[in-house]
Chain A
Amino acid sequence: MKRSYFSGPYALWMILFTIFPIVFVGLYAITVRNETANSLYAGLKNISEIFANKGTYMKVLWRSITLAFECTLICLFLGYPCAYFLASKEFAKYKTLFVLILLPMWMNFLLRTYASMGLLERNGIINTIVTSLGFERLDLIGTRGAVLYGMIYNYLPFMVLPIHTSLKKMDRRVIEAAQDLGANPLRVFYKVTLPLSVPGIISGITMVFMPSVTTFAISGLLGSGNFMLIGDVIEAQFMQANNWNFGSALSLFMTALILLSIGLLNRLDAGKNSERSEKW
């Protein structure tokens, strides 16, 4: 029997749950429904709609991208040191710490976000503490910061994990070699540890940026609907406006953007490798 038969089930799965949906999204995106005649015709009206409407959707898109960018950046600066310490010799024996980082991921993200609401609400835990200390009540919920917080809280583990893995599998002797050649701890980090963990950083960035740029629900719950993101708009097109065609066009556009950014990121990574053969 041919070995390739074993890949059959996976191929079927791919066709059913990846290829078909993408084809459908594509088809929906380039068809327009005429409500009065109740007929369908092909056209790029949905695509042009994205750019029209006084740029409303572009504004939402820009907001999504900037928020996702900020979220990724903060996750990187919080996540790298966290991963670094967890991977270090001193902390490696405390396996519980690592589990604590992962633990929130075991819960549904909506549950986590509702819990965050409880923290940030006008009468939530934080405000109870703040007012009981005699300070004025803070407006936390419904702010941009609250949305950003929700995203960071949800996606931080996706930054920590790949960086932790890349640091963990790094050969200790390479670090020792750098010390041996006269590098103090700071220089060991900048010249050896950091460059060698770049693959982990890249996959961390990808794993945080992608879900956060398409995030939905978080902005609705923690932003009180004041900060619609592109994910929310797409969701609304399907669930409320019942305009699957425009929703599909938006998500197709989003997918294209993400593919483009991954391509750029990969080129950046590859560029680093080819560069070393040229520079002295």
Chain B
Amino acid sequence: MIDDTRLIELINISKSFGDTHVLKNINLYIRRKEFVTLLGPSGCGKTTMLRIIGGFESADEGQLIFDGKDLSSVPPYKRRVNTVFQKYALFTHMNVFDNVAFGLKLKKPEELLPGEKKPTRRQIKEEIKRRVMRMLKLVKMDAYAKRGVDQLSGGQQQRIAIARALVNEPEVLLLDEPLGALDLKLRREMQLELKSMQQQLGITFIYVTHDQEEALTMSDTIVVLNAGEIQQIGDGKSIYDEPNNAFVANFIGDSNILEAVMVKDYEVFAAGRSFECVDEGFAENEPVDMVVRPEDIMLVGEDVGMLTGEVKSVLFKGVHYEMFVEAAGIRWKVHSTTMYPVGSRVGLTVVPSNIHIMHKMADEDAYVGVPIQKSEAGQ
């Protein structure tokens, strides 16, 4: 499905607004027909990155390569890229049809009708109508062609914004948190629809979001950003299972992150005891961050666990219970389908392959907001 050719390349891209470094030396390539998600908290630079690709901002340093050519000085209206804006930015003075037809009406006749020698006005009009209606059908809005856009609901406006961009058959579609304003149910529906549209049309999607679940659902590749720097690039599974650092582990999914020491290969010391693990290649006694996902902790009888603790709180989350268990001076978040009442003594167990060891982050700033637990014996 995904081509191996690099369609877009960002080389050493940096950007500042005043004193704030929004992007610091970004290097990234995006392949043809890939669904790439730029994921990160607000202010991490993801939207700026998208706007640089769209041509609405220019990078202070670095190169933007599109299909082998430097795109840095090409204005937005000449780029083969279309954008779905965060708040849709529909043309309120036009109806749905005219909104979607906007881009097509600006195309040269020979682009619209490559077969015709000298297409008449009528032919052009018919062709535009055909393409617009086909696109409106794809987003299930063909019944609304003559409506004013301000008469539409948020979800409908969203579909029009997507149709308006896609009808131009761009090589790349940029989406800036397009589902942010929709309610959860509609959002999930649209996620699946967007994904199937992308596969059906074979267009490269670059999608910006701060919602990790959305990223995991749709993407071929996720780029995790924080404070203007790329933290990790990979598919959803590898980012979830093998986070590069504490920031990624915290941002993608729930996790227990604690300071630990890598005693030697396959042995880590944390929370007052040694754990067997599957990681290797660290220096002896190297301080590391250790992550255990809440669903990977098994609650067992008091005497048979690796650690013993007391259940401090229980929340019912629908599919599972979320419990906080205090053991060895650490509050462990545990997800389990079996409920243990508050105050009961339990044992905690984790299998070696579910313990993930990460290098300490080089940049102290990157730890801001990441709840890392210090274990007494960790240091």
Interface set of A (CB-CB < 8 Å, partner B): 171, 173-174, 176-184, 187, 191-192, 195-196, 198, 276-280
Contacts and interface: CB of A to CB of B under 8 A. Distances in A.
List the 9 shortest-distance A-B pairs measured between CB atoms, nearest first.
A173-B89, A181-B103, A177-B89, A179-B76, A182-B106, A195-B93, A180-B83, A174-B89, A179-B77
A182 B95 contact: no
Interface in B138-187: 145-148, 164-165, 168
Interface string B78-106: 10011101110111111101100011001
B87 A177 contact: no
A280 B146 contact: yes
Given A177-B83, A180-B82, A280 B94 contact: no
Nearest to B100: A181
Given A173-B89, A195-B93, 11 more contacts: A176-B76, A177-B89, A179-B55, A179-B77, A180-B55, A180-B76, A180-B77, A181-B168, A182-B78, A183-B106, A192-B93
Given A176-B56, A179-B76, A181-B102, A276 B95 contact: yes
Contacts of B165: 180-181
Contact of B75 (A178, A179, A196): A179
A278 B93 CA distance: 13
B97 A184 contact: no
**Which of A178, A180, A184, A276 has the most B CB atoms < 10 Å from its CB?**
A180
B77 A183 contact: yes
A180 to B, nearest CB: 5
B84 to A, nearest CB: 9
B317 interface: no
Given A179-B76, A181-B164, A181-B168, A280 B97 contact: yes
B87 A173 contact: yes
Contacts of A183: 77, 102, 106
A183 B106 CA distance: 7
A179 B76 CA distance: 6
A191 B92 CA distance: 12
* Range of interface residues on B (Cβ < 8 Å): 20 to 34
**Majority DSSP secondary structure for residues of A touching B:** helix
B129 interface: yes
Nearest to B167: A181
Given A182-B103, A191-B102, A171 B89 contact: yes
Contacts of A171: 87, 89
B54 interface: yes
Contacts of A178: 91, 102
A170 B375 CA distance: 54
A259 to B, nearest CB: 27
Nearest to A274: B148
28 contacts: A171-B87, A173-B85, A174-B89, A174-B92, A176-B85, A177-B85, A177-B89, A177-B90, A177-B164, A179-B55, A179-B56, A180-B54, A180-B76, A180-B83, A180-B165, A181-B77, A181-B102, A181-B106, A182-B107, A183-B77, A183-B106, A191-B102, A196-B93, A276-B98, A277-B95, A280-B98, A280-B129, A280-B146
A173 B164 CA distance: 14
Given A176-B76, A179-B75, A276 B93 contact: yes
Nearest to A191: B102
Given A181-B82, A181-B106, A191-B102, A174 B91 contact: yes
Contacts of B81: 180
A192 B95 contact: no
Contacts of B54: 176, 180
A196 B97 CA distance: 18
B23 to A, nearest CB: 19
Contacts of A192: 91, 93
A187 to B, nearest CB: 7
